[in-house]
Amino acid sequence: MSIMSIMSKRAVSTSFKKTASMAVVVSALALGGSIAQAGTIVGSLHDMSASGTGQGTTTETEVCVFCHTPHGSDTAAKAPLWNKKLPSAATFTLYSTLGTATLDGDEAAVGSVSLACLSCHDGSQAMDAVLNAPGSGGYNAAGAKFAGVGITAMTGSPIPMLGTDLTNDHPIGIVYGAYTGGTDTASYTAESTATINGNAQYWVNGKGSTVAGREKTDMILFTRADGKPRVECASCHDPHNGPDAGVTNVFLRINNKDSDVCLSCHVK
């Protein structure tokens, strides 16, 4: 794809984004709600349907199907009801191979919810390559494609297509704070924990939040087999939280004004 056609796609995205955020403002006002409420995935860059704006947008009218299926999902995926084949963890170069002198925590192989994000963001497969394509009889364990659409894998390195070299991205699969085993625990906000359905869940309150329970606006931590809480893509990002009144929100769990996302975890 030429630079010009990528640029024109981005330009289209921006104009759609404005429309989408205006719609949110209008509905929020109509409901008498706060305009600071979270946005919606509909019309966002994660809406790959006809109403969407990102690369891979199609004439398909369903929104969720690009990532989720109500039946026949991949249970190996650590994202719920996942509708895509996962890339192989072995293809990625980990952040820790950069060898920075400051990294304390144990970094696991790429996995958990991050592998689900990277099933598009590594640029290895088409956005409409799913397990269960829309409509009746769309399931194919070997991978299905939407009928008559033919969209391609993500482009645009190093972002949004992160590729398989993760040395230029914030560490993921990295153990959080007090669990790093290092001596630097004072540099992190203490995490919260709760047992839900017998599973230990961990999160760090979003900057400024004093709510005791887990909320979508908290930085969610994810565990692997060893049970240690780790930072993954969805710690900082909520993939559904499209453009809201704070337009700088690139699917972040909270607005990053004053670097509030970073300062939720890092004491700096």
Site residues for ligand HEC per CB under 6 A: 13, 41, 45-46, 48, 54-56, 63-64, 66-68, 79-80, 100, 102-105, 113-114, 116-121, 127, 154, 159-160, 162, 169-172, 174, 176, 180, 204, 216, 219-220, 231, 233-237, 239-240, 250-252, 256, 261-262, 264-266
Nearer to ligand HEC among residue 138 and residue 239 (C-beta):
239
Would you state the structure tokens that stand for residue 167, as one six-digit string? Answer: 């040395």
Nearest alpha carbon to residue 141 among 75, 56, 89, 46:
75
| In the complex, minimum distance from the CB of residue 180 to ligand HEC, in angstroms, rounded to a whole number | 5
Closest distance to ligand HEC from the beta carbon of 231 (Å): 5
Question: Closer CB to ligand HEC, residue 32 or residue 102?
Answer: 102
Task: Check if the beta carbon of residue 191 is closer than 8 Å to that of residue 221.
Answer: yes
- Considering the complex, what minimum distance in angstroms separates the CB of residue 58 from ligand HEC? 11
N residues, the chain: 268
- Quick one: which of 176, 183, 223 has its CA closest to 204? 176
Nearer to ligand HEC, 32 or 190 (CB): 190
Residue number with CB closer to ligand HEC (109 or 159): 159
Minimum separation from the CB atom of position 29 to ligand HEC (A): 23
How far apart (Å, rounded) are the C-alpha atoms in residues 167 and 154? 19
Q: Which residues contact 236 (CB under 8 A, 6 or more apart)?
A: 170, 219, 252, 253, 261
Handedness of CA 87, 145, 3, 243 (dihedral sign): negative
Question: Could you tell me the smallest distance in angstroms from the CB atom of residue 27 to ligand HEC?
Answer: 16
